[in-house]
Amino acid sequence: MELTALSVADLQQKLRNKEVSPVEVLQGLESRIAQVDPAIRGYLSRDFEAALKLAETADVSLPLGGVPIAIKDVINVNGEPCTAASKILQGYRSNYDATVIRKLRAAGAIPFGRCNLDEFAMGSSTENSAFGHTRNPWDTSRIPGGSSGGSAAVVAANEAFAALGSDTGGSIRQPAALCGCVGLKPTYGRVSRFGLIAFASSLDQIGPFTKTVRDAGLLLNAISGRDPQDSTSLAEPVPDYTAQLGRDLKGVKLGMPREYFIDGIDPQVDAAVRAAVRHYESLGAEIVEISLPNTEHAVGVYYIIATAEASANLARFDGVRYGHRAEGATGLLDHYGRTRAEGFGPEVKRRIILGTYVLSSGYYDAFYLRAQKVRTLIRRDFTAAFEKVDAIIGPTSPEVAFKAGDRSDDPLKMYLADIFTIAANLAGICGLSLPCGFASLDGKRLPIGLQLLGKPFEEANLLRIAHAYEQSTEWHREQSPI
């Protein structure tokens, strides 16, 4: 197996056995990126020289010592660009580390490379980036998912050993499913959001993309925990997320929501997920049919709450203190208008306008307040379900990766790509996607993702359930053809 195809756990072993040095790892990674990234376009920028200096002094005895980790370009890394894939932040360089970056450094990891995304994390295909589209390593005519499409694509193409992304409505799990890797959205409050450029503050959560479930646990070990700089991070105990891996599933109950197995799912996705459910039964898990009755309202509720929060959060990008500044403005209001018109892309403008509308006088109660009430009902659905089951199982996405450009003119159809992932963000629970098969389209094999949703702050149990499936199947060993 080539060096860059190794999992984080296997790479750690080689580093500690001195079979390879952190410098050699970084050089091998840079060579792989030069070979395949022109076709994938998963990275927006890289600073090889800065990373090389860190590799030269890396302590491989640390939990992630000497392991390079790719970073979605919406998370601040000191001295590096942080553009959120938007022209309005073109040229900006961060002057501080996000808390997750500081924690990665403390664990010995080397933050390396800035990954492409949908502008300000708004999208499901990574086609909304101001700096070019990322492509799927399994078929470069198709999208990698979004908004963390760059992070998923570089892991799937062996251009990264692991990566960080952010998940607001499925932006880790959906691209992980479409690219055939593991993507974990932690419970809201489990991981600090300090240093993450905010899209929707009550929904955003940082999490890892990895090649295996064990690797997801290793990264979660490093980035979890209470942070005084983020008032929404919670002082919950942080266990060793790899400690339960390998335990059997006897007595585990998995809920199958009838609302997640509906007409309109790609038949090949439906078949693969149902086969995974049967496999779990063979492993000793009990399958229980459940209902999440408010699922049908999740997309509508999400696009009210998320856009309202985006309208408030993106008001800070005005060209006064940093980022793009329009020329020729005749006054302050003209400056704001020109700067934001030039700096923001069409999807970001669409969501700001929608969010401003639902927060406006006369519409707040009719839209925003009502959406918050339905959000409570969605959360209660999960609370009731978790009284009966240990985790929930279903498809991550209703379909496999679609062709680039197929949905650019149909925002509503694009929004529905996240129909099975959005509710977890509204409820604040943890969720994970892992490979469970392939569909065959146009002569290509395209990954299918299995989604597991867990109780709040029970990521360790979720990882244990995912690991049991992963290690008893071969899907995670498949390599993209690029």
Structure tokens at 85: 């894939």
Reply yes or no on whether 373 is catalytic. Answer: no
DSSP state letter for 285: P
Q: Which residue shows structure tokens 């090649």? A: 211
Q: What is the CA radius of gyration of the chain?
A: 21
> Does residue 407 contact residue 413 with C-beta atoms inside 8 Å?
yes
Structure tokens at 286: 């009990």
Half-sphere exposure of 19 (CA within 13 A, CB side): 7
Q: Which residue shows structure tokens 């090889």? A: 48
d(CA 432, CA 213): 9
Structure tokens at 236: 């919950």
Reply yes or no on whether 147 is catalytic. Answer: yes
Instruction: Select which of 7, 124, 171, 480 is catalytic.
Output: 171
Beta bridge partners of 224: 191
Beta bridge partners of 168: none
Question: What single string gives the DSSP state of each residue in 281-324?
Answer: HHTTPEEEEE--TTGGGHHHHHHHHHHHHHHHHGGG-SSSSSS-
Instruction: Select which of 86, 125, 129, 147 is catalytic.
Output: 147
Distances (CA, A) of 249 to 124, 215, 353, 384: 33, 20, 48, 22
Catalytic residues: 72, 147, 171
